[in-house]
Amino acid sequence: MSYVTGLRCTVCGTQYPPDTPYTCSTCGISGILDVEYDYEKVRGSMTKQALSERPMDHWRYAELLPVDVKCAPNLSVGWTPIQETKSLAQHVGIRTLYLKDDGRNTSGSLKDRASSVGVTRAVAEKKDVVACASTGNAASSLAGLAAAAGIRSVIFIPEFAPEPKVAQLLVFGATVLRVHASYDRAWELCQDSCQRYGWYNRNAAVNPYLIEGKKTVALEICEQMKWRVPDWVAMSVGDGCTIAGAWKAFREMKEIGLIARTPKMLGVQAEGAAPVTAAFRSGGDLKPVEPKTVADSISVGVPRNWRKAVNAIRESGGQMIAVSDDEILDAIKYTGRLSGMFAEPAASASIAGVKRAIAEHMIEPECAALAVITGSGLKDVRAAQQAAGKPFEVSEDGRELEEVLKSRHLL
């Protein structure tokens, strides 16, 4: 925390001291706070040479994290691989395409980055219960990190949360509350419960410290790509926290002199849950929607952090786009077949978004883009089966085998 100088409201600009509870006292729940750092001090400490000598996880960026990393749970988080994929680039119509596979994190998603920071702060504040509302990934990451830290977790999930994600929660020992309503209602119940029972609130939509964990995905991109970022970085958008955090990281890296330029951000939503896209295009306030999409991780009708997301994309010179569920499911299939990466629906949405953005002339084909795979396809096997189809049935004597092989052009 020695590099943190304070917090600032993203709506009215009011500044607060560190450890101010979550939101602006004037703007209320819409007044999301942003963590500010002493960048001059960071510049003198977080050098390329210093980074080269640190462990390969996201705690290597200690100067830009609002925690004492020595108190972090003993689980590996971050430093997930980046892969260039030429076949996939050709398919979507772009010169160069990279994928960063955050499905390699401990619980299988990018959300481990945020949860690790949240759990570390909860321990520092001597909280023995930490809670969140989630469609699945934030929940499973929190439950796993809390278990590693020896504290309890309470998770509010909407009724549509995929069973593999629910199974993770139960294995990690979380108290799981399936709310027979939307994600937004589960979120409200969690907020009320945290206030009533004094639990640590891990909801990234209002807790400013969680975004600081999410931004490490972009800090890594800068370093892993030898300090030359791609022209575009594509990320799926639900509440808006992740893409806002990533943009903040790129801006910080330029501020401290480690990169010469920043990328444009492409925010991708599902057409059935695209209120942030609508707000970006209209220039007005967000209008809530009733979400309906196969991409459960971004099925958010009332995004709490939409303003940060919109500001980030505008500042970067980027774009917002929405893709259909059919495009999302198709992207799961062609991404797997052309890159060997297994993406859940919200993760494949970023790749579908790149393809659509090229078709709509938002992204030039000669550009280099990077799409973040935010979660493993094992998180939602039902959607993967819907995308990929069923296996061929072969009887014991194998009489159908030759016909199947011919249909697959293997003979």
Strand-by-strand arrangement of the 232-236 sheet: 82-84, 96-101, 368-373, 232-236, 264-270, 319-323
Give the Cα separation of 266 and 243 in Å (integer).
Answer: 9
Residues of the chain with pLDDT under 50: none
Q: Does residue 9 form part of some domain?
A: no
| Dist. CA 235–CA 109, nearest whole Å | 13
Q: Give backbone dihedrals phi and psi of 326, rounded to 5 degrees, phi first.
A: -65, -40
* Residue 135 DSSP one-character state: S
Q: What span, in angstroms and rounded, lies between the C-alpha atoms of 384 and 328?
A: 10
Query: Which residues form the domain of 214?
Result: 82-108+210-388
Pair of tokens at residue 302: 């009332």
**398 within a domain of the structure (yes/no):** no
Residue 119 located in a structural domain? no
Residue 67: φ, ψ to 5°: -145, 165
Largest CA distance in the chain: 75
Give just the sign of the alpha carbon dihedral 314, 239, 362, 351. positive
> DSSP alpha helices (H): ranges in 172-240?
183-197, 208-214, 216-224
In one letter, which amino acid is 299?
Answer: S
CB 328 within 8 Å of CB 350:
no
Tens of pLDDT, residue by residue over 317-367, are 999 999 999 999 999 999 999 999 999 999 999 999 999 999 999 999 999
The total of other beta-carbon atoms located within 10 Å of residue 151's CB is: 18
- Please indicate, yes or no, if residue 252 is contained in any of the structural domains: yes
Evaluate whether residue 394 is within a structural domain. no
Side-chain-side CA neighbours of 378 within 13 Å: the count stands at 12
Contact indicator for 80, 108 with CB cutoff of 8 Å = no
CB 212 within 8 A of CB 117: yes
Instruction: Tell me which residue of 241, 244, 238, 282 sits closest to 265, measured CA to CA.
Output: 244
Per-residue burial over 183-203, b = 16 or more CB atoms within 10 Å of its CB, e = otherwise? bbbbbbebbebbeeeebbbbb
Number of domains in the chain: 1
Here the CATH number for the domain that contains residue 380 is: 3.40.50.1100
14 is a domain residue: no
- The one-letter code for the residue type at 309 is A
The neighbouring-strand residues paired with 33 are: 9
Q: Quote the pLDDT of residue 405.
A: 92
The model's pTM? 0.92
Query: pLDDT tens, 241-268?
Result: 999 999 999 999 999 999 999 999 999 9
E strand or H helix at 30: strand 28-37
284 part of a folded domain: yes
Given a contact cutoff of 8 angstroms between Cβ atoms, the answer to whether 166 and 107 are in contact is: no
Question: What pLDDT shows up at residue 244?
Answer: 95
Q: Which residue has the tokens 């500042």?
A: 315
- Contact status, residue 138 vs residue 186, Cβ threshold 8 Å: no
**Does the residue 322 lie in any domain?**
yes
Pairing of strands 23-24, 319-323: unpaired
